[in-house]
Structure 1
Amino acid sequence: MATSSRAVVEEVLRAGRELDIEAFVDSMAPDGYIEWPFRPAGVPGRLQGRAEIRDHLARTAGSLVTFDEYRDVVIHETVDPEVVIVEYEAHGTVVATGAPFVQTVIAVFRVQDGQIVSYRDYLNPLPLAEALAGATAVP
């Protein structure tokens, strides 16, 4: 039985929140990509392919912020069965300072054959930029 696009997206969201890098990467198609159209300096605009995504996550996951929960999650299944749009607030902690962190996200996924071929993450860049600035500020 084929896995629904919604179920694939729900799994990648869980894996991202829990820092389960292997499950996250396994949800991606071999040549799938992640894009961040709006991002602060230092955050890549695009990662393509499982190896590049795995390498980036292994180096960065949990190093700047950690996420405890996603709140107000709304999953929109579209008329195109491959496309799923998700809105949510990511609540967590800035690792360097222990300060609370809230990130508003809208993400657009395209799923083919049970794997994500594209993941466009339209996050609000301001909280991340503030966390980056706070983490590098000299007391």
Structure 2
Amino acid sequence: MTATSREIVERVLRAGRELDVDTFVALMAPDGYIEWPYRPPGVPARVQGRAEIRRHLTEVAKGFIRFHEYRAVVLHETADPEVVIVEYDAHGTVVTTGAPFQQTVIAVIRVQDGRIVSYRDYVNPLPLVELLADITATPADA
């Protein structure tokens, strides 16, 4: 039996939290994409295709913030059976400093034939902007 869109979304969320890049990428369609409509400078607007998504997850995202828990997770199944909207609070730590990090997320995910074709990630960019400012601050800035 083919997995439902909701089940695919639950799997990709678990893979993201567990840093299981192989599972995350396998759940994406070959030309699927992740995009961030609201993002700080330096964060790409979109990564598309399995190879680019894998590169982003292994070279960029994995070494920056480690999420340990998603709290208050709510999945909304929509009138379109391909679309699931998910909202949650991501709690983790900054890899370089060990400082706690929290971010609110709303994502709109479209699944076709058991694979994610689009993952629009509407993260609250403010905590990330603050983190990037702290990381790039020089002693003269302090």
Query: If the length of structure 2 is used for normalisation, what is the TM-score?
Result: 0.94
Distance in 1 separating the partners of 2:48 and 2:97: 31
Q: 5+ unaligned residues in a row in structure 1: which ranges?
A: none
- Displacement of 1:94 in angstroms is 1.2
Query: If the length of structure 1 is used for normalisation, what is the TM-score?
Result: 0.96
SS at match of 2:76: strand
Write the letter of the residue equivalent to 2:29: A
Aligned-residue sequence identity (percent) comes to: 72
- Displacement of 1:130 in angstroms is 1.0
Distance in 1 separating the partners of 2:93 and 2:132: 12
Partner of 1:137: 137
Equivalent residues, number: 139
Q: 5+ unaligned residues in a row in structure 2: which ranges?
A: none
- Displacement of 1:134 in angstroms is 1.6
CA contact (8 A) 1:19 1:61 kept: no
Partner of 2:97: 97
SS at match of 1:81: coil
Write the letter of the residue equivalent to 2:6: R
SS at match of 2:97: coil
- Displacement of 1:61 in angstroms is 2.9
Partner of 1:18: 18
Distance in 2 separating the partners of 1:134 and 1:18: 26
Q: Runs in 1 of length 4+ with deviation above 6 angstroms?
A: none
Q: Cα deviation per residue 1:7-48 (whole Å; 9 max; x = unaligned)? A: 100011011111111100000000001110000011100011
Q: Would you say 1:124 and 2:138 are equivalent positions?
A: no
